[in-house]
Homo-oligomer: A and B are copies of this chain.
Amino acid sequence: MDRSAEFRRWKAQYLSKVDLSRKGSLDEDIVELVQVLNQQEEFFTTSSCSGRIVLLDGGINGFEVQKQNCCWLLVTHKPCVKEDVIAALKKVNGDAILKFEPFVLHVQCQQLQDAQILAVRSTHGLEVPLSHKGKPMVTEEYIDFVLNIANQKMEENKKRIERFYSCLQHALERETTTNSHPKVKNTSLYTHKKKRNPEKAQGKCIKEKNGKELENDDDDDDPGLSSTIFPEDYSI
């Protein structure tokens, strides 16, 4: 079987599987985007999340949350009210953490040169410990304050999904027009960032990591997302 046929077989097998996520379905805000990607011969998505606010009970071991041990007290893909967090916190026995986790998308691709959109992550996050061994460490006022920030990030995240979707559609249209495989240079979903200063130097310590260097760009058309390749996802 040639590589192209093998990829098609693999994709068909993958997409026919039952969705084993806790939620069991695609997040509403990215259904279209995921479908558009999966309609492309050379891509398929393996995991995605539109972005969410999560309250975790990290257990008695504190913040080294083990996937298998941690308990989700609250998960929402929409803005969240303080009362929900305060009610959920009452169930905490261990160390609770409030997190905002932005849009993430993992995409398999047939060829390495398509890998520029193999995975997309925005790093516009928030991770705030709220309680320790069941005891609240912050006030209700603080929870309200932090939740406002998380909700703002959720709104901003939604705009970024829209921008990314729009850029993706343009890139795919260009590809159809030229009827060739995307090249790294001409179908990039990202724009080079105009640097205020020539900051590229050996070993420089990046200012404003965790997405800020992507967020605060001069380019209005910068979707503010980084592209990630996970070696374990390689399809070649």
Q: Which A residues lie at the B interface, using CB under 8 A?
A: 14-15, 17-23, 25-27, 30, 34, 38, 44-49, 52, 62-68, 70, 99, 101, 104, 106, 112-113, 115-116, 118, 123, 125-129, 132, 137-139, 141-142, 145-146, 149, 152-153, 156, 184-185, 188-193, 196-210, 212-213, 215-216, 226-232, 234, 236
Contact = CB atoms under 8 A, between A and B. Distances in A.
A188 to B, nearest CB: 5
A212 B145 contact: no
B101 A17 contact: no
A23 to B, nearest CB: 5
B201 A20 contact: yes
A4 B24 CA distance: 48
Contact of A184 (B22, B70, B104, B234): B234
B52 A17 contact: no
Contacts of A113: 112
Nearest to A232: B192
In this complex, the member of A52, A65, A189 whose beta carbon has the largest number of chain B beta carbons within 10 angstroms is A65
A204 B215 CA distance: 26
A206 B230 CA distance: 14
Given A128-B128, A145-B129, A210-B127, A45 B230 contact: no
A229 B227 contact: yes
A229 B138 contact: no
Given A116-B231, A227-B230, A203 B149 contact: no
